[in-house]
Structure 1
């Protein structure tokens, strides 16, 4: 598991339009990277909309918000359009970042056990160091908790 004070693993993933983004592109800014299980599911939709509703505060503080799931670029396009999400969603079908951040774990859902993305959020400072981890982020409050933590 990654720890507060450690260097955030860099990654290069594609957005919904096929443009590459690397975490290292955002050095010099605070960055919130949140990992979520799936587009258009109830919890993931509530979390994305909570970030959308707080987005102007993130912009005012100069903080980048990036959501990552293993969904396809096309799925991200539909999800972004449907909910008018103003921040970046990146597609990680090969689990590059998901595994680097150790958020692909055994989960129980409806009594069945399987591997999946555990909803987790990482906050990085301007040097790319992890300053906060929300290991089991709550979809409804995660966005505001981060803003409160950052002051």
Structure 2
């Protein structure tokens, strides 16, 4: 091998070693605070950013959208805040009504102007207590008529149910259907009841006697059926 060839080959390793040393030095310098690679901007997820804002303000991040979609509860109507001025009370004018009755006709308070009127409110047609009560008023219908008094039965049953009830027991008293509870509420015959430990809204057995002047003369609440029709007749005869 010639001297020139040996010299050329001997320089290659030294150059390679020098280049690697330079690279290491550059890396070490960067680690000690030299030139740094440009940091990528950190991106926070939208949810985390929202939480950060919420934490800073002390309010939930979604409070703005919740506030926009929230509808406050409506205020109670005046009629719900206080007793209705039309509620039946003794000595006051009887609340007006106009409702369907058995047979397909309608009946109203105005139909009985100048007459005494008995309204008996019963929970349900063709149940034992209601059947006895309706039969008792039917039995005394002639005596009521002699005293110038008409009698009407009212419940929330349909007209069809009232007709079936009337035909089955041969009742002669007109039966009113108040499915919407308008008359029942006006006369205080709709309210809270309890049975077998359960509380619910329903018809309270009630009877109202209206005088010929259209004013409420007497109200019987929580009626007991036995002997009740006779007691009402006595009160009507005494007017």
Name the TM-score, length of structure 1 as normaliser: 0.95
Structure 1's unaligned 5+ residue stretches are none
Matched, 1:19 2:105: yes
- Indicate the SS of the match to 1:128: coil
Specify which of 34, 37, 62 is matched with residue 120 of structure 2. Answer: 34
Aligned to 2:201: 115
Does the 8 Å CA contact 1:24/1:128 hold for their aligned counterparts? no
Which whole-Å deviations, capped at 9, do the CAs of 1:64-103 have from their partners, x for residues lacking one? Answer: 0000000000000010001111111000001110011121
Aligned partner of residue 162 in structure 2, secondary structure: helix
Question: Where do 4+ consecutive residues of structure 1 move more than 6 Å?
Answer: none
Q: Match for residue 81 of structure 1?
A: 167
Segment of structure 1 superposing worse, 49-58 or 67-76: 49-58
Bigger Cα Rg: 2
How much has 1:115 moved relative to structure 2? 0.3
Between stretches 17-26 and 64-73, larger displacement belongs to 17-26
Select 1:59's aligned residue among 141, 145, 151.
Answer: 145
Larger RCO (alpha carbons 8 Å, 6+ apart): 1
Q: Is the 8 A contact 2:147 2:236 kept in 1?
A: no
How many pairs are equivalent? 151
The residue matched to 1:145 in structure 2 has which SS? helix
Structure in which a larger fraction of residues adopt strand: 1
Return 5+ residue gaps in structure 2 as ranges: 1-86
